[in-house]
Structure 1
Amino acid sequence: MEASEASHQIIADLLEARTGQHLTESRRWRVNSALAGIFRQHGISNVDQLVCLLADPGSDALAQEVVEALLNNETYFFRDKPTFDQLPGEILPELAQRRRDVKRLSIWSAGCSTGQEVYSLAMLFAEQAERWQGWTIDIIGTDVSHRAIATARGGLYSQFEVQRGLGVTQMLRHFDETPRGWQVRGEVQDMVRFAQGNLLTAPHPSRLPFDLVLCRNVLLYFDRQVRHEAFERLSRAVMPDGFLMLGAGETVVGQTDRFVPTQRRASFFELAPAPVPAMARRIA
């Protein structure tokens, strides 16, 4: 194995160890471009030199920089809108019916990146304020990236970012234009909270299971075994009558036996019925 190839493997192993993400051969082309900023900042010429620095004691901060640079934080408001539109159209009304006695909904966005998905959820509730009056709506977003969570908490987006997925009316209703960018308004920002955490290793972000869990375009970066572990953790995070929302094109079929597709709803899944014990089947 050539030195550069070995160095790329070390970088891939670092990413997988800290995030669970598998850097496939088809994605390794982006390593040099993703790390270009780190090369410039630290006066590094190539991946081989970077790996040498990572081998030194006290290089944990540099290792975290590398991981942060390699993470794909691609996201935008109301991403995959036809799928997202099912939330106010079908999923949230159904959950409202199921929780009408307690008037509380708990939602987790796992792998929330820089926060657009979480704020999109909050906007849905803000735009139906009368419908949800008297309800407690708890929305939490988590991501493995410290940098992404810091951006999410700040709620400040550039002109380019705020235009991705939002119409002019939504921009003006939920954001204030400032010299630094577009700031999420307080009434929306107050509805959400963020925490840094790894889906695979971090403690559960809430003491209670969630009515709705969004884990979109995260699992596709895991290999099959890690994806199986992720589904196991997600199955413990969803209420028995709650929903799991995956990204467009993602599925549980052939991936896990913990979830099953919902009827006529793309990208939404429910917990699979508990298996009937063999003795009960024989008695039946």
Structure 2
Amino acid sequence: MNVIAALLEQRTGQQIAANRAWRIETALKTVLRAHGMQSADQLVAQLTGTRSGALADAVVDALLNNETSFFRDAGVLELVVEAVAALVEEQPGRRVRIWSAGCSTGQEPYSLAMLFEEAYVARGLPFPEIVATDVSAATIERARSGRYSQFEIQRGLPIRRMMTWFDQDGTEWVVRPELARRIQFRRQNLAQDPAPPGKFDLILCRNVLFYFPPALRTRAYATLRSATRDGGALLLGAGETVIGQTDAFVPCSRFRGLYRADPPPPVPRAAGLG
């Protein structure tokens, strides 16, 4: 299993702790069936000598933790909308930029888009630019397609929003074009790639850095900071914090749970989420 764990870390930066090694065997059952293999040893033999190709891609995708749902931690997403509204109030007419890093199959950015449609469009406020990224090409394609099973659509999505923003297609539900066009989906590896172009006012990176080893986590924070405008903010997962991890972000006094990107001294701090 060491070969498989090393492949995951090499490709994504994520580590599987020794006490969670059971995840490898469980996660790979589908891959073994799809490729007609009988055991993980047979899979390792096929992977030995190569860390690329369709089989390696399938293994990495199977091991990634794509646990997500619509409106996951709904109060946190509402906080994001409130924080963005504060930025718009400070600079009326300005279009805010948001990056959903590690977006998995898209439920997080689609949830944000629904909230902004409901809170902003009717009031004539500029809709934020939303960029959503994930390390997995297959996952990004799923997110871009906006297709969800009955099980996925029922996880966290109220019926009213389901009927407003999705159309049923057989056993699946598909995001309506007017919502889908609000999000730019891109493949991006936070462990290796530069951030998407431009500066963002707010970055959501929930439950991604948790799986990174310390040195890589430090580099990832640097990437996130390079993509955050001075005075912008970072949102992490509920069990994550920047405290003791990086000096690039500090707790935001105005919006609890967000971490503010202060400009480096001696440049005066820009208006933002203070």
TM-score using structure 1 length: 0.88
Inter-partner Cα distance in structure 1 for 2:194 and 2:243: 27
Q: Cα deviation per residue 1:30-70 (whole Å; 9 max; x = unaligned)?
A: 11110011112223222222111112569622111111110
Q: Secondary structure at the match of 2:160?
A: helix
2:16 is aligned with 1:26? no
Q: Distance in 2 between matches of 1:169 and 1:65?
A: 36
From 213, 228, 231, the equivalent of 2:221 is 231
Partner of 2:247: 257
What secondary structure sits across from 1:182 in the alignment? strand
Q: Deviations over 1:178-236 (max 9, x none)?
A: 21411111211111110111012223322x11011110010101111111111010001
Q: What secondary structure does 2:204 align onto? A: strand
150-159 or 41-50, larger mean C-alpha shift: 41-50
Cα gap change, 1:219 to 1:56, in 2 (>3 Å)? closer
The alpha-carbon deviation at position 250 of structure 1 amounts to 1.1
Give the Cα–Cα distance (whole angstroms) in 2 for the partners of residues 185 and 46 of structure 1: 42
1:82-126 CA-to-partner distances (Å, cap 9, x unmatched) read 2222123x31211112331x5211111000000000101110111
219-228 or 58-67: bigger deviation: 58-67
Paired residues for 1:107-186 under 5 Å: 107-128=98-119, 129-133=121-125, 135-186=126-177
Q: What SS does the corresponding residue of 1:202 show, helix, strand or coil?
A: coil
Cα separation, 1, equivalents of 2:29 and 2:73? 30
Is the CA contact 1:158–1:182 (under 8 Å) kept in the aligned structure 2? yes
Distance 1:125 1:32 in 2: 41
Distance 1:93 1:81 in 2: 17
- Structure 1: distance between partners of 2:45 and 2:90: 56
Partner SS for 1:104: coil
**Correspondent of 1:221 among 198, 202, 211:** 211
Distance 1:130 1:212, change over 3 A: same
Does residue 246 (structure 1) correspond to residue 239 (structure 2)? The answer is: no
Whether the 8 Å CA contact 2:117–2:127 is kept in 1: the answer is: no
Alpha-carbon separation, structure 1, partners of 2:62 and 2:138: 10
Match for residue 194 of structure 2 among 203, 206, 209: 203
Contact preservation (8 Å) 2:232, 2:260: yes
Measured in 2, the distance between the counterparts of 1:195 and 1:123 equals 20
1:91 aligns with 2:91: no
Does the C-alpha gap of structure 1 residues 27 and 98 become closer, same or farther in structure 2, counting only changes over 3 Å?
A: farther
Measured in 2, the distance between the counterparts of 1:132 and 1:267 equals 28
Give the stretch that moved more between structures: 191-200 or 50-59: 50-59
Alignment of 1:25-44 (within 5 A): 25-44=18-37
Give the unaligned 5+ runs of structure 1: 1-7, 278-284
Counterpart position of 2:272: none
1:71 aligns with 2:70: no
Aligned partner of residue 211 in structure 1, secondary structure: strand
Could you tell which deviates more after superposition, 61-70 or 176-185?
A: 176-185
The count of corresponding residues between Structure 1 and Structure 2 is: 266
CA shift in 2, pair 1:275/1:247, >3 Å: same
TM-score, scaled to structure 2: 0.91
Amino acid at match of 2:20: R
Letter in 2 for 1:167: P
Larger Rg: 1
1:16 aligns with 2:6: no
1:210-266 deviation per Cα after TM superposition (whole angstroms, max 9, x unaligned): 011110010101111111111010001111011111111211001101100111534
Q: What is the alpha-carbon root mean square deviation over aligned residues?
A: 1.8
Runs of 4+ residues deviating >3 angstroms: 56-59
- Counterpart contact for 1:83–1:266, Cα < 8 Å: no
